[in-house]
Amino acid sequence: MALGLPTVATKVGTTPLLITHGVDGLLVESDEEWALELERLVNDSELRRELGKAARAKVVQKYSVRAIRQDYRKVLGLVMEDARV
């Protein structure tokens, strides 16, 4: 996703929290769905571009160092407080 490539992933665990099917990637549940979605990507260059672009934007917005630096600071502040006690 960070590379701006279209992603196909199995719909298990926390993967659906990271990928929104049809928006920034494709989620599948069976071997047949894998084959269908991969074929769809091979045949649709616009879909590849759209999914890749949306995936990259999501990663930058939600998971980049810049996006989560405030969370890091908060956690480090708590750790430092605990170390002083």
| H helix or E strand, kind and range, residue 10 | strand 8-10
The pair of three-digit structure tokens given for residue 56, joined into one six-digit string: 């990259």
- What is residue 85's predicted lDDT score, i.e. its pLDDT? 65
pLDDT tens-digit series, residues 6-44: 999 999 999 999 999 999 999 999 999 999 999 999 999
Domain count for the chain, please give it: 1
Q: Is residue 2 in a domain?
A: no
Q: What is the pLDDT of residues 62-78, one digit of tens each?
A: 988 888 988 888 999 99
37, part of any domain = yes
Whose structure tokens read 């002083």? 84
Q: Report the CATH number that the domain containing residue 53 is assigned in CATH.
A: 3.40.50.2000
The full length of the chain comes to 85
Q: Is residue 72 part of a domain?
A: yes
Within a domain: 3 = no
pLDDT tier, 81 (very low <50, low <70, confident <90, very high otherwise) = confident
Domain of residue 68: give its range: 8-84
Q: What is the pTM of this model?
A: 0.78
